[in-house]
Structure 1
Amino acid sequence: MVKKIKVFSAAGLLLASLFSVSVLAAEENPNNVPLEKEGIPVANAAENVAPAVHNVPKEQNAPALNYVNQPPLIPHSVSGMQVTKNVNQCLNCHSAENSRITGATRISPTHFMSRDGAISPNASPRRYFCLQCHVPQTDAKAIVPNEFKPLPGYGQ
């Protein structure tokens, strides 16, 4: 009987130590992402993840476009602005009617076309959610250097 208790105690301790090692490993790599790529160790996976919230300048000039047909960038914060299937607060300033009053950039006429080319008096559902294409600029530090070079005569 004593021998069985010792065996069960040893097995319990072994299980507990294995469990604690796996928990520690999960804390170091919570998404179970391979930390090495092509044999090059990644120093710290957390350093390679962009922060969730950035500092957005309150107002700035419209940033230059980098390529042909790039959606214009948003030169202000959109924090707290509601864009749902029922409400689009962007249109409070950027609609055709309100842009004359507010001085904001007017919504493009292409946003009123259906995929069949029919013109509607309201923004097309496929172009209604502004943040699908238009993004605010931030002063976040780049994770990797930008090596994009536009074709001669296009972009900057």
Structure 2
Amino acid sequence: MKSPVRKGSLLSCMAALMLIMSGAALAVDAVDLSQSPEVSGVQEAARMPKQQERMALNYVNQPPMIPHSVDGYQVSTRTNRCLACHGVEHYRSTGAPRISPTHFMDSNGKVLSGVAPRRYFCLQCHVPQADAAPIVGNTFEPSKGFGQ
């Protein structure tokens, strides 16, 4: 049996949702970091060398950062440019690190024959490293023995 929904309450909810969404859109427009004096010039300062040394990890299980540019890399449901070098079939010939065995396990711990769907989109966790000043200051300290 369906519960009755009053038209007035449904319209009120929809109106409130529209107000929230428009407010969020205005907030996004209002915060333009590229115009901030603390951030201006970050794009120019964050030049990414074609190759650089891998950065040290700062905590246990941190996804390694990418030591090269990924501009133009395509990662979609049909293709993953990262696997052309880091995949099991190619890493030996390219000299790139092989993707972790954990990337072949599904959410239940079952080992799959290919990269698990939840680990397929590399750029969700792995980001290109760049020599740039932080946009926002922080007081993060690496775990003992890390970041060296």
TM-score under structure 1 length normalisation: 0.66
**Larger relative contact order (C-alpha < 8 A, sep ≥ 6)?**
2
Identity among equivalent positions (%) equals 54
Out of 37, 53, 73, the residue aligned to residue 47 of structure 1 is: 37
Out of 24, 29, 42, the residue aligned to residue 31 of structure 1 is: 29
Shift of 1:55: 1.5
Alpha-carbon distance between aligned partners in 1 of 2:115 and 2:145, rounded to the nearest angstrom: 32
C-alpha distance 102-146 of structure 1, shift in aligned 2 (>3 A): same
In structure 1, give the amino acid aligned to 2:99: I
Secondary structure in 1 matching 2:89: helix
Out of 90, 108, 111, the residue aligned to residue 119 of structure 1 is: 111
In structure 1, give the amino acid aligned to 2:117: P
Matched, 1:87 2:79: yes
User: Higher mean Cα deviation, 122-131 or 51-60?
Assistant: 51-60
Alpha-carbon distance between aligned partners in 1 of 2:28 and 2:141, rounded to the nearest angstrom: 36
Residue of structure 1 equivalent to 2:129: 137
Q: Which has the larger radius of gyration?
A: 1
C-alpha distance 129-52 of structure 1, shift in aligned 2 (>3 A): farther
Out of 92, 96, 99, the residue aligned to residue 104 of structure 1 is: 96
Q: Give CA-to-partner distance per residue, 1:53-90, whole Å, 9 cap, x none.
A: 74211101111001111001100000001001110000
Residue of structure 2 equivalent to 1:149: 141
Shift of 1:123: 0.3
Contact 1:66/1:150 (<8 A) preserved: yes
C-alpha distance 151-66 of structure 1, shift in aligned 2 (>3 A): closer
Count of residues in Structure 1 that have an aligned counterpart in Structure 2: 118
Q: Which runs of 5+ in 2 are unaligned?
A: 1-26
Alpha-carbon distance between aligned partners in 1 of 2:118 and 2:92, rounded to the nearest angstrom: 24
C-alpha distance 31-148 of structure 1, shift in aligned 2 (>3 A): same
Alpha-carbon distance between aligned partners in 2 of 1:95 and 1:32, rounded to the nearest angstrom: 42
Contact 2:56/2:146 (<8 A) preserved: no
C-alpha distance 32-100 of structure 1, shift in aligned 2 (>3 A): closer
Contact 2:48/2:68 (<8 A) preserved: yes
Shift of 1:154: 4.3
Contact 1:81/1:90 (<8 A) preserved: yes
